[in-house]
Amino acid sequence: MVKRCQPDSSVKIGRLHLNNPVMVASGTFGYAEEFKNFTDLEKLGAIVTKTITVKPRAGNPAPRTCETPAGMLNSIGLENPGIANFIKDKINFLKKLGVPIIVSIASENSPDEFLELAEILDDLKEVSAIELNISCPNLHKDKLISQDAQSTFGLVKEVRRLTRKCLITKLSPNVTSISEIAKASEEAGSDAVSLINTLGGMSIDVNKRAPKLGSWVGGLSGPAIRPIAVRMVWEVYNKIKIPIIGMGGIMDTQSALEFFIAGSTAISVGTANFINPGISSEIIEGLKKYMADNKIRSLREITGILKI
């Protein structure tokens, strides 16, 4: 049987093999169980969990979300059950899916918490990769780790020493040069970079003359930020060799393709999960059709093929 017409949509992120390049972005998919009625979870390329911290975290005051033109602001504030409860209550469901599980982690007070979390996760065979969320805009910090190349380099290097698992660094767009931070991640041993996290934003209720979000400011996501994300993927692609996981306002197959052409090896669907909980499966099918229609055998053929 000759398989020449069967497009191969599998990709590699470091030593991590994905059957297809469509992942779901941290914070937009809970711990996957929430979506079981609405999509074939087993078909996803990978699942990135809601960010986990060492201790349980309550999160920010309400209102935590507000809609903006073609987008939304959120200030959830990393509400999560903490690593121990995550392992106790959430991981069993995830591991049964047979899909690579990428656990997103963050620190609350000290960067050492990243190391503590990485050591714990390194021992769990159910976990395929670790994503360092050094770019959450909702922690009321003056400066994020991902807003400084040296801090990024230092943290990634220390975590790298503790784990052989695939290590992904998630970057913030709220910087003067995202390429510098991406390079620092690469030099420190990150297997891949995820970009972009949300953009800092604010929305005001003019009648109350008050912020619409309970913690005043939040992170902007959705189609409104897509052009910024695509541009950043393209910029970074030209500066680093490790794979890019592209995200930011991907709503359908067309917008996913923009990210591949700009230089992404894989993509993550975020805000779109809230609107259509089955969108990731639809994009997986859409990409296969695009590959078949255009006689593309492997997605590697279109990563970064932007014509200029």
Partner 1 sequence: MEAARVIARINSNNNFSGNYWHLELESAAIARRAMAGQFINIKVNDNSIPLLRRPLSIHSVSSSKIRLIYEAIGQGTQGLAKRKPGEFLDVIGPLGNGFNLSKTSSKNSLNILVAGGMGVAPLVFLAERLKLSQPLVLIGAKSKNCLLCIKEFKSLGSRVELATDDGSLGFKGKVTDLLKKTLSTIDHRLSTIYACGPKAMLKAISLIAAENKIRAQLSLEEHMACGIGACLGCTVQTKLGFKRVCHDGPIFLSEELIW
- Which residues does the annotation mark as catalytic? 136
- For residues 184, 234, 269, 75, the Cα torsion angle rounded to the nearest 10 degrees is 60
Shortest distance (Å) from residue 105 CB to partner 1: 17
Closest to partner 1 by CB, 66 vs 118, is: 66
| Shortest spacing between CB 67 and partner 1, in angstroms | 5
Which C-beta is closer to partner 1: that of 222 or that of 246? 222
**Residue type present at position 243:** P
| Minimum CB distance to partner 1 smaller for 174 or for 271 | 271
Closer to partner 1 by CB, 14 or 30: give it. 30
Size of the chain, expressed as the number of residues it contains = 308
Amino acid (1-letter code) at residue 151: S
Report the nearest approach of partner 1 to the CB of residue 145 (Å): 23
Nearer to partner 1, 87 or 251 (CB): 251
* For partner 1, the closer CB: 9 or 133: 133
CB of 248 to partner 1, least distance (A): 14
Contact footprint for partner 1 (CB under 8 A): 27-30, 34-35, 37-38, 50, 58-59, 62-67, 70-72, 74, 76, 79, 222-223, 251, 271, 273-278
Q: C-beta of 275: minimal distance to partner 1 in Å? A: 6
Q: Is the peptide bond before 111 cis (omega within 30 degrees of 0)?
A: no
Question: What minimum distance in Å lies between the beta carbon of 34 and partner 1?
Answer: 4
Q: Give CA–CA dist 166/275, Å, rounded.
A: 30
